[in-house]
Amino acid sequence: MAKPALGRGLGALLGESPIAKPPVPAPTAHTALDAVLAADPRARVQRVPLDRIRPCPLQPRKDFPPETLRELADSIREQGIVQPLIVRERDGHLELIAGERRWRAAQLAGQIEVPVILRQADDQAVLALALIENLQRENLNPLEEARGYAQLVGQFHLKQEEVAAKVGKSRAAVANALRLLRLPAAIQTHIREGRLSVGHAKVILGLTDEKLQQRAADRILKEGLNVRQTEVLVSRWLARETGAMTPPAAALPLSRDAHVANLENQLRERLGTKVHFRYNKGKGRLEISFFSDAELERILQLLGVAGE
């Protein structure tokens, strides 16, 4: 079943002015291109020389596995490019807004011309559309997704809530993705290449010391720990750091450690910030971190507390 289109609608992002001429059939799937066509039924497809098109530096996706490109190139040789690329005019050439994987595969397939839809879009709209297209196809790895959000926040000065609205995600999902960028570069590489899952990463983020984070990642990779086992490991290390709050091993079984770690992770995901939860025989401490007045206000709103 096709995924629903994400975000506010690409018509709102890209404007309404058609440029190309030949007509195209009505869209049938809820893809990024379909959203463009649905938002502006006058949009048209045209064929342009492949060498007129350039990749976009704002493209959040950086990894294009050679094997998948070869498979797509084989398909293009047989059936052509089914879904047109979306481009904009830029410095005398056409710059990709969406469809870089198809563009790369078309080169491998020896194509001379490709179908495109020419649009007018500013940089913010281009990045948002590139994120939307890749998220719809599940082509972004978690680090590419996080960096795309960070680019919207840093380069375009958007709040996390605004980013979430543009890409059709919850604010908590955006906040949790951005937290991945706090991890050491080596751990980010493991996540990008699929050796560590996002679930592992969320547990590792419970450790504030980078050396401990790296140590945890090494243990996961060496021993093949799943997320639940990683929660137990991290909760043990955190218990050692608290000193007096650490109960004897017999008083706090592993199942309790894992349960507390799981609750802590749920709180982190819900609040989108660092949370430390300590528990011992019905007593403990819950610490919620914030890093600006705006973030404090956001957390208070999530908790249903009216700030003065």
- Ordered by start, the domain boundaries in the chain are 10-138, 193-302
Cα 133 to Cα 295: distance, rounded to the nearest angstrom: 29
Residue 26 Cα to chain centre, angstroms: 30
Note the pTM of the prediction, 2 decimals.
0.52
Name which of 169-178, 217-226, 253-262 the model is least confident about: 253-262
Residue 136: predicted pLDDT = 57
Q: What is the per-residue pLDDT for 24?
A: 36
Q: What is the pLDDT of residue 133?
A: 67
Q: Output the pLDDT for position 124.
A: 75
For the segment 3-26, the average pLDDT, to the nearest whole number, is 40
Task: Tell which residue, 40, 39, 37, 43, has the closest CA to residue 23.
Answer: 43
Confidence of residue 257 (pLDDT cuts 50, 70, 90): low
pLDDT of residue 245: 44
**DSSP secondary structure, 222-250, as one string:** HHT--HHHHHHHHHHHHHHHHGGGPPPTT
Q: What is the average pLDDT value for the chain, to the nearest integer?
A: 75
Structure tokens at 302: 């999530």
Most confident of 19-23, 25-29, 81-85, 303-307: 81-85
75-110 per-residue burial string, b: 16 or more CB within 10 A, e: under 16: ebeeeebebbbbbbeeeeebbbbbbbbbbbbbbebe
Q: Known catalytic residue: 100?
A: yes
Pair 60, 127: CB distance under 8 Å: yes
Q: What is the pLDDT of residue 196?
A: 93
Highest mean pLDDT among 34-43, 214-223, 235-244, 270-279: 214-223
- pLDDT over 70 (residue 159): yes
pLDDT score at 305 = 79
Which residue stretches of 168-244 are H helix? 171-179, 185-192, 198-204, 210-223, 227-242
Of 95, 100, 133, 145, catalytic: 100
Is the confidence at residue 11, as pLDDT, over 50? no
**pLDDT of amino acid 183:** 94
What pLDDT digit, counting tens, does each position of 33-92 carry? Answer: 444 444 454 467 889 999 899 888 777 777 777 888 888 889 998 888 888 888 888 888
Domain formed by 10-138, architecture:
Alpha-Beta Complex (3.90)
Cα separation, 60 vs 167, whole angstroms? 13
Strands 93-98 and 53-54 turn out to be parallel
pLDDT at 185: 92
DSSP 8-state code for residue 45: -
Tens of pLDDT, residues 78-125: 888 888 888 888 888 888 888 888 899 999 999 999 999 888 777 777
Q: What is the pLDDT of residues 163-208, one digit of tens each?
A: 888 777 888 888 889 999 999 999 999 998 889 999 999 899 988 8
Average pLDDT for residues 140-146, to the nearest whole number? 84
Alpha-carbon span 45 to 117, nearest angstrom: 5
Residue 137 has pLDDT above 80, yes or no: no
pLDDT at 221: 92
Distance CA 109, CA 225 (A): 42
